[in-house]
Chains A and B, each alone.
Chain A
Amino acid sequence: MTAVIGYGPVGGEPAEPTIDMATWIGDLSLNGPVLTASGCSSMGKELDPFFDLTAIGGVVTKSVMLQPRSGRATPRMAETPSGMLNSIGLQGPGIESFVENDLPWLRERGVKAVVSIAGGSVDEYARLAQVLRYCEEVSAVEVNISCPNVEDRGQVFACHPNLASDVIYNVRRFIPTEIPVIAKLSPDVTNIVDIATAVVKGGATGLSLINTTLGMVIDTETLRPALAGVTGGLSGPAIRPIAVRCVWQVHSAMPDVPIIGIGGIATGLDALQFVLAGASAVQVGTMTFNDPSAPLRVQNELARALAERGFSRFTDAIGYAHRPHDAPLNDFVADAWAEDERIGEASDPARPLNSGAAG
């Protein structure tokens, strides 16, 4: 087999690497591993002018609740070092309007829709699932049990394994088995593996790691909290190391459970960290505010980064950082090393394979 290193002539644009970027979350096949993140792409339509939404894995819609919801007062956001704090409060149209007005557009465009739901009680989650079970446009359901901008600051479901499991069980039992139910977890817990284990027992197909982490900014001019909601969720590159750690820990404990990595992904190499830590897919969230074409750009950069490292299939890289220290390189990587003159002599697996090429 041949790993393709996609370089054109010197000085030319790098050719698009031929790499199989397909991935799976349970039975759901995605033609690319990058999705948008809930709350960072509205219902998808707003990003349509900027890139082909069918070229990425899919769109994760903004968490929808049973009833329409106004969200919180403003100011709702504050920029922070390499990130931002938000306190939107799950503003949204309610499930009925969502199903009627937002889902059909995604379907017409052939966009894979991962529908994020949020509720204030186990029963509310169950009722949302009962509505979605009849919607054929739904590719997967992401259960947001970790929004920090609701009445209980997201603590009730996100931090208690039994309740978290209960929510997932009550969604799972209404959603057709071939549709993945993905639990989105908070990093604001003592041991994320405990929560992850509980929701998988409750029937979660996969896990989205992580939601925002609770933070606060005080305005030194007004001498008050910067956000009307006082606290907010911190997101962006600032939380990326926390997110990579969570993915690593959960993948170590449950290597067979698909994980979607989320947290400050701005580039293909950021995404690669999550994949190597064990993510089967990733979501680009806050950085879409900075660059509306970020999801597709990240996916293209990730493809190139994988090719440069000798991978020909995305799925071969999932969890690759977990290999034992004395493990020989997988064949596909070794092949690429032997073929690439720049790194042909390399023997240290820790050495970056693309030094000087893409850095």
Chain B
Amino acid sequence: MPVQARGEVLGMRRVGQYYVLTITAPGIPELTRPGHFVGLSVGGEGSGMVLRRSFSIHKVTDRGPYGGTLEIAFAVHGKGTAWMAQLDRHDTVDVVGPLGRPFALPKEPVSCALVAGGYGSAPMFMLAEQLRERGCRVDFVLGASTEDKLFGVLDAKRMASTLTVTTEDGSLGEKGRVTDVLPELMDRLNVSVVYACGPMGMLAAVAQQAEKHGAYSQCAVEEAMACGIGICMTCVLPVIGDDGVTRMLRSCVDGPVFRGDSVRWSDVGTVPADAWGAPVGGHK
């Protein structure tokens, strides 16, 4: 059950091209599991920006001098995130969370690959910790266009058995994309589960590679959301259910984590003609 809390800013730090915001959010950290996200209102009281901004939860502490706190990572993309970037200690921000369905964890101590693009790695470190606690082997693959856009390289190095870094410009690690190194890694380490978070194109490719390898994949999607709590119906994507029927599911309440083989990646952004309730002949 999500809660709505008045958070207080405890700190903000720059990490490469990203910001990491630490806030108190009474009631939220203790309920958070890896893959959960929060919705923040932006612009302060009476703001003209009416939509919430959603961010996956990076870290939580459920006790300490400030009670429960959480961290989110974000990049400045528009007015809302620009407002967030100028938040200062003691500023307040309205937070709703934890939201969404978190990553599913394996029951057996299997080998897991954690693959992330850019700051898609934000929720992966909590996940790595919990996988390690279950005796799972954890190997990280972090990719970005350039070194500045990698997030959490040191954390990944500390937590994982191995860390592979890829950058498209070769500024750090191997030159290329995460999908250039993933198949070999899956083979070498006999990976059973691939966890992925990043841009849709990357998720589509990772899910396909995992399936080919016979591994499960758990993909956290990024879709534009207006509310984050399941009432606006804007963040839908075509997902195949256990009954074989494709439905337009909300990534906020039915996701953001989906089984990689359930999402119709190439149809994201469309309503497939065979989707449940699709209009005959398409929308006019």
Contact = CB atoms under 8 A, between A and B. Distances in A.
Interface of A: 39-42, 46-47, 49-50, 62, 67-77, 79, 81-84, 86, 88-89, 91-92, 94, 151, 228-229, 236-237, 266, 286-293
B271 A289 contact: no
7 contacts: A49-B1, A72-B271, A74-B268, A77-B224, A288-B227, A290-B52, A292-B227
Given A236-B50, A290-B51, A49 B234 contact: no
A72 B231 CA distance: 16
Contact of A71 (B2, B41, B230, B248): B248
Interface stretch (B15-23, B118-126, B256-264, B276-284): B276-284
A91 B283 CA distance: 12
Nearest to B282: A73
Contacts of B236: 71, 74, 76, 91
A73 B234 CA distance: 9
B136 interface: no
A41 B284 CA distance: 26
Contacts of A79: 49-51, 226
A292 B50 contact: no
Nearest to B246: A70
Interface string B1-19: 1111000000000000000
If over half of B's interface residues share one DSSP class (helix, strand or loop), that class is named, otherwise mixed; here it is loop
Interface of B: 1-4, 41, 46, 48-52, 94, 96, 223-224, 226-227, 229-237, 247-248, 253, 268-271, 275-279, 283-284
A272 to B, nearest CB: 16
B271 A71 contact: yes
A124 B190 CA distance: 56
Contact of B276 (A46, A70, A229, A236): A70
Nearest to A267: B46
Given A46-B229, A291-B41, A74 B237 contact: yes
A286 B50 contact: yes
A70 B271 contact: yes
B34 to A, nearest CB: 21
B224 A67 contact: no
A69 B227 contact: no
Contacts of B277: 67-71, 91-92, 94
Contacts of B283: 72-73, 89, 151, 229
